[in-house]
Structure 1
Amino acid sequence: MSVKSVTHLNFRGDARAALTFYQSVFGGDVAVVTYKDAGDIQEPAEADQVMWGQVTSGNGFHVMAYDVPARLPYHRGETAFFISLRGDAAEEITGYWDKLADGATILQPLGPAQWAPLYGMLTDRFGVTWVVDVVSDYNAS
């Protein structure tokens, strides 16, 4: 079993540009899934925005990013990041979730999602928002 945490940056329409910029700085590969790619279009004007993206490079740099939908609150600089906690075993991730959830505000209960066997989001008792999931291969079909 393994678990990995990475900074997950939040934008309002600028995630693709930010990921491209960070790739130009650190090198590596960019991966982007739009709301349209994931079949999760709730606002047609946001269909081509980034639902999930990342830059990973051989030097160890890794950052994730997405565009916060207009229906959700976003204040640049105040809600600029999440901590993404990803693991390959549901039992391990559930254990971390249960501990983080103590005194937390649950934003999305831990459960199956279209893109992951388990996914959830909470803001812990210290005000840090965690996106927790079990890693799976993305299948756009």
Structure 2
Amino acid sequence: MAVKSVTHLNFRGDARAALEFYQSVFGGHLAVVTYKDAGNVRDAAGADQVMWGQVLADNGFHVMAYDVPSGLPWNQGENAFFLSVRGETTQEITAYWERLSAGATVLQPLAPAQWAPLYGMLRDGFGVVWVLDVVSEY
């Protein structure tokens, strides 16, 4: 039996925009269910927010996200997690980096590292920290 782990991101009203952005970077299919779609509206202002959403791409990229309802506490925190994307070629990782870096803060420029042919870290416009690298044989 196989187990698959998928990163699930929590937002406060930005989940749809974040998922659309990640789809533009990695491709794939975007699926979104709002609180209204699910018949689970507790606050009219949040009816069109994302209750469940994901981007799933043929290249293996998969991320899920939702908007934390306004009645629940939420704090994005600082360095609570990193989302890691590992590719097989420098061309692949460079292309993702160039698209993800739109509106981002570069924390570690994309460059060769002792442990990888290419490594970089950035915080995107939604506050998510991404680590991108090329897989190497240790």
2:59 aligns with: 59
Aligned twin of 2:37: 37
SS at match of 2:38: coil
How many Å apart are 1:50 and its aligned residue?
0.1
Identity in percent: 77
Give the CA deviation at 1:3.
3.5
User: How many Å apart are 1:76 and its aligned residue?
Assistant: 1.9
Instruction: Kindly indicate whether structure 1 or structure 2 has the higher relative contact order, using CA contacts under 8 Å at least 6 residues apart.
Output: 1
Distance 1:20 1:69, change over 3 A: same
State the TM-score, normalizing by the size of structure 1: 0.53
Q: How does 1:54-93 map to 2 (within 5 A)?
A: 54-77=54-77
Whose radius of gyration is greater, 1 or 2?
2
Check 1:80–1:69 CA distance in 2 against 1; reply closer, same or farther (3 A cut): farther
Letter matched to residue 66 of structure 2: Y
User: Cα offset for 1:4?
Assistant: 2.4
Q: Give structure 2 stretches of 5+ with no counterpart.
A: 82-138
Superposition map of 1:8-23 within 5 A: 8-23=8-23
After superposition, the Cα gap between the structure-2 partners of 1:3 and 1:51, relative to the gap in structure 1 and judged at 3 Å, is same
Amino acid across the alignment from 1:5: S
Runs of 4+ in 1 over 6 A off after TM superposition: none
Offset, 1:5: 1.8
- How large is the RMSD of aligned CA atoms in angstroms? 1.8
- Note the residue ranges of structure 1 that are not aligned, 5 or more in a row: 82-141
Aligned to 1:84: none
Deviations 1:23-81 (A, max 9, x none): 00000010000000111001011000000000010100000000000111111235977
Q: Secondary structure at the match of 1:22?
A: helix
The residue identity in structure 1 corresponding to 2:30 is V
Q: 1:38 to 1:2 in 2, by over 3 A?
A: farther
Q: Distance in 2 between matches of 1:80 and 1:39?
A: 31
SS at match of 1:8: strand
